[in-house]
Structure 1
């Protein structure tokens, strides 16, 4: 394929404002593109206007190398952008648009790599499978659905095309979103003893949680420190009324040394202890629960990706862990164990930013990396 065709596919994907939805439009573009190269792609519906995409190429059923990316993007405030965010704009080597880095350039590159393998009638001792997902930004819904349907059970390796600055990530932190609601009793502020101040009780909880976390300073040599951040806090609607409702939300970034199970037990115990008081009525909801992932740093998939990427890019790649989460937290729940890496063309720090961009050069290089990795990984697996 020539560069104009490669840019057109990315442009078409960026043109769909798939902000927490509308992934079906993206999937249909990819399905049509793959069909034009003799590849049948299937859509797996998640919800109205939301569909995952599955496609494969290869001569044998196994082994299977998975290529995965998500088709949703985060919102874009047009006032913060120098160009319209849902149109691909080229400025020098920069391809600007919402989702260029996170993650439509990676998705397009993986689809193009599969198409180029098909165009060349490449002989593979196995198959490459695309697993393009919905809802990664808000809950990894698509990856969860595809895993539950068994599409990851026969994988021998998985490459996720999140923006990795063309480095290789083999581990990522887990993530927990939670909500704590405090229920009290309304009264006039001149007679506070007749009410129960939900805000006061929520502050008591916040302080108890912070104190409990003081004894947990665990740190991963790969993923760094455990972090917990309370990010929203709401109570009351009138200054002279004791509030009967208050709530906070928080996010914890977990590591194997202090994982999701441990943190949920800690915060649950804090709520339960405080609820022993008759004046306390706290409720805890875990909204999002994704485990940390640590794959094999010395796996053949890592070594082959590094070797190929260094040959193509001329860059000395780092093999490191990352602080964010990816769809890997769902795919690791498959029935079989397989190495997972993140390798993508976007710059990590560009994710979710105004005037988000990906390097045109990196975009084209990533296509070559994915194509050559598919051949080397599958052929080596059968040696």
Structure 2
């Protein structure tokens, strides 16, 4: 088969058609640009029961298919993307043009490619519906790239309200590096931002003995924060604290400042929870004896899915990748946060697995069609192992 023929076959496939439609919808957070309704229609045609709900302009989808008694699985994903304009793009960012077997467009990798592949795998799985056991859910939102207050967080709450507890959840975020399937996320570090308001005493710079320089105090606190030990860190999940700003209001060159603000962000190991981090920081800063106020913002909890003796979803995903690519994936908890944190519980095992992430949020974001088909095959293998071979799960 010639390369041109191969490109043509990939370009005309079902998964590529779905991805093209999704990219061409300019669904910049929190706008879904019709993609939630589109996905609802596709899943309804496959026999899923559809529930859509909207909150604060965010559209969400819960689709379900009950085969029989058995384990419960969900695909989780988002249809929203970060903004893009034409500057620097070789094609318009919402045109979904294919060049030499690569589709270009905002969201191609993060994560409309994953959503399209999950749909194609779902369609293929349902050709064997008479052999399937358990319950299958789709959980989609248009509020992942934004504040994430009215998306997957509310979907997870609605599942709890309806007494639905997932055994496993696969999030289609782009996790791969060199080749598709080489890395999966079996957890994520948590994140929280802090804002410290330092109070001093103003006065003339020529008489510092009569002042308390809030900027000097802030500098000491920054050093203290940077040197804090994080003794619960585990290998591969290190806590990092980065100061993101030191601000003095109304700067005057002959006035000692009475106020200074420090902003910082902590990405913390899955060995911690946000309340532990908050308590640790506050107790450490209290020892300075400085008058200050601390405000905490945007907490995102950590989560971790380890290996289990029985019903191990991590092992299932690893085996699906090995079956498809011939290689086992590396495990990682690095990077930013994801919606997986909303679904991870003591029972629900959450794994993130998706295409390469080297172009996400960038100009000329893209995804090769061959990679798109590989992740589709991985997803189908996961589904078959979960729903058909229940005794091996």
How high is the TM-score relative to the length of structure 2?
0.82
Give, in whole Å, the separation in 2 of the partners of 1:185 and 1:202. 13
TM-aligned CA deviation for residue 39 of structure 1: 3.3
Determine helix, strand or coil for the equivalent of 1:220.
coil
Give, in whole Å, the separation in 2 of the partners of 1:297 and 1:239. 61
TM-aligned CA deviation for residue 82 of structure 1: 2.9
* Corresponding residue to 2:297 among 280, 286, 289: 286
- Alignment deviations for residues 218-249 of structure 1 (CA, whole Å, 9 cap, x no partner): 5422x242211122333334444655654333
Aligned position for 1:95: 103
Q: 1:243 to 1:100 in 2, by over 3 A?
A: farther
Which stretch has the larger CA shift, 14-23 or 233-242?
Answer: 233-242
Aligned position for 1:54: 62
Give, in whole Å, the separation in 1 of the partners of 2:199 and 2:18. 51
Give, in whole Å, the separation in 1 of the partners of 2:64 and 2:33. 19
Paired residues in the alignment total 372
Whether contact under 8 Å (2:81, 2:106) holds in the other structure is: yes
Q: Residues 191-210 of structure 1: matches in 2 within 5 Å?
A: 197-210=213-226
Aligned position for 2:267: 253
TM-aligned CA deviation for residue 303 of structure 1: 3.0
Aligned position for 1:326: 338
Whether contact under 8 Å (1:64, 1:154) holds in the other structure is: yes
Q: Residues 175-194 of structure 1: matches in 2 within 5 Å?
A: 175-182=191-198
- Alignment deviations for residues 330-361 of structure 1 (CA, whole Å, 9 cap, x no partner): 2124xx513221111x2133332222222211
Give, in whole Å, the separation in 2 of the partners of 1:189 and 1:24. 57
Whether contact under 8 Å (2:194, 2:294) holds in the other structure is: no
- Alignment deviations for residues 257-312 of structure 1 (CA, whole Å, 9 cap, x no partner): 455343222221234344x44xx333322322322323327754233333333333
**CA RMSD after TM alignment:** 3.1
Whether contact under 8 Å (2:26, 2:33) holds in the other structure is: no
Whether contact under 8 Å (2:72, 2:168) holds in the other structure is: yes
Aligned position for 2:141: 133
Aligned position for 1:268: 282
Give, in whole Å, the separation in 1 of the partners of 2:315 and 2:169. 14
Aligned position for 1:307: 319
How high is the TM-score relative to the length of structure 1?
0.84
Structure 1: runs of 5 or more not aligned: none
Give, in whole Å, the separation in 1 of the partners of 2:81 and 2:73. 25
Q: Residues 69-80 of structure 1: matches in 2 within 5 Å?
A: 69-76=77-84, 78-80=86-88
